Each structure stands twice: as structure tokens, then as C-alpha cells.
Chains A and B, each alone.
Chain A
Amino acid sequence: EPEVTQTPSHQVTQMGQEVILRCVPISNHLYFYWYRQILGQKVEFLVSFYNNEISEKSEIFDDQFSVERPDGSNFTLKIRSTKLEDSAMYFCASTAPRGVYEQYFGPGTRLTVT
């Protein structure tokens, strides 16, 4: 069964450093998303992406965040200058371009900012 994959599974970085989180969505999906989940809190929408551009972003997704689809398979989230409060699980998801747009999630990247 096709699945969304994410790398790395855990990333530790120092405050102020840049990180890039990587995702490979399901191959025939066209809509891609990033979410974050701070420990003990709910899953929060960050950004949606379609046809090589951002469809929608939340107020969390400020100028320190960016997304890119550098090739036909990868989808990346870059955090330019990490803060302590960026420590969270980051989930990538994708949906097929038809039907009820069910989202399928990757296993997540745990980001720890020290």
C-alpha cells in the first residue's frame, strides 16, 4: 500500500539554525500539507500546497517557514531560524485530487530545538 514517508524521524538542532524537513507524498497525489503537533497539544495546520504554489497558510506559517517541491517526488518544509517553540512533531500529508480529499499522513519528524 502506498504511503507518505518523512525524513529524518528525529532532528535535533540549535536555536537559530536552519532545518529542512523532507517528505515524499503518495505518488499520484497532488495536494500536499504540513502540520505540526506540539507535545500534548492538537494537530495544527501550517500550509497546503498545490500545483507548485501555496494554496493556504495559517498564521503560524510566518516568514521563517517556507515550502518547496524541488523535484517530482519530494516536498520540503524549511524553518530558517529555529526557535525553542518550534520544537514539535511535524507531519506531512497528501490527498488525491478527487473524491472527499481524505488526507494520508507520514510518520512525522520530531524536531527538538535546544
Chain B
Amino acid sequence: RKEVEQDPGPFNVPEGATVAFNCTYSNSASQSFFWYRQDCRKEPKLLMSVYSSGNEDGRFTAQLNRASQYISLLIRDSKLSDSATYLCVVNPPGTYKYIFGTGTRLKVLA
């Protein structure tokens, strides 16, 4: 099993739609999880950290499911500007490294 796994997509959704992505991780002891957004040929930008209790920021909601070892990102009321690749990042316990998933590509269509 890969350390961090994401469906590469693309997810093509109309403006205003709700879309959700999942990301699975292999190390059950992992404690730190993040969602980043990456536009083409740009740096990853932090979207949100994922806490045990979940995390919401405007139209974005992140959840952690420890039992099934996945995190999710929900985007409500999609905007054209949400089109990007969404990266799942995990910091394995006892390490100083961050493992990135391959990313899920989202295209919001007018």
C-alpha cells in the first residue's frame, strides 16, 4: 500500500456543485494531515490542516477518519477559481518529513 494515495481525477464539476476528495494513508499512527492546493507549475499552498475533530473554513471542510485511515476534503458551491490540483500531505509519526499524494485534479466548468 502506498504511504499516501489519492485518486488523480480529473473531477469535472459544474460551478456551484459540491465535490469531495478522499486520501488514504498507510501509517495508522500518523497524527498530522494537511490539504494543499497547487496550481499549474506553482508552489503548493496550504489550504487547511486536518484535525481529529474536523476542520471547516468557509466552503471547505476537512475530515479525518482514523478507523479507515483516510482524510477527506469537501468543497461546497464550487467556483471556477477552485480549479487546481489538491494535494493530501501526511507527516508520519516520529519523522521530520512530509509525504505528498499525487494530487487530485479538479476542473470547475462554467
Contacts and interface: CB of A to CB of B under 8 A. Distances in A.
A100 B49 contact: yes
Contacts of A44: 100
B95 to A, nearest CB: 6
A56 interface: yes
Interface residues of B, number: 23
A91 B41 CA distance: 11
A45 B95 CA distance: 12
Interface in A45-61: 45, 48, 50, 55-56, 58
A65 interface: no
A50 B11 CA distance: 39
Instruction: Give the residue among A31, A89, A102 with the most B Cβ atoms within 10 A.
Output: A102
A112 to B, nearest CB: 13
Interface of A: 31, 33, 35, 41-45, 48, 50, 55-56, 58, 89, 91, 100-108, 110
Given A35-B100, A41-B102, A103-B34, 17 more contacts: A42-B87, A42-B100, A42-B101, A42-B102, A45-B97, A48-B96, A48-B97, A91-B43, A100-B32, A101-B91, A103-B46, A103-B89, A105-B43, A105-B44, A105-B45, A106-B43, A107-B43
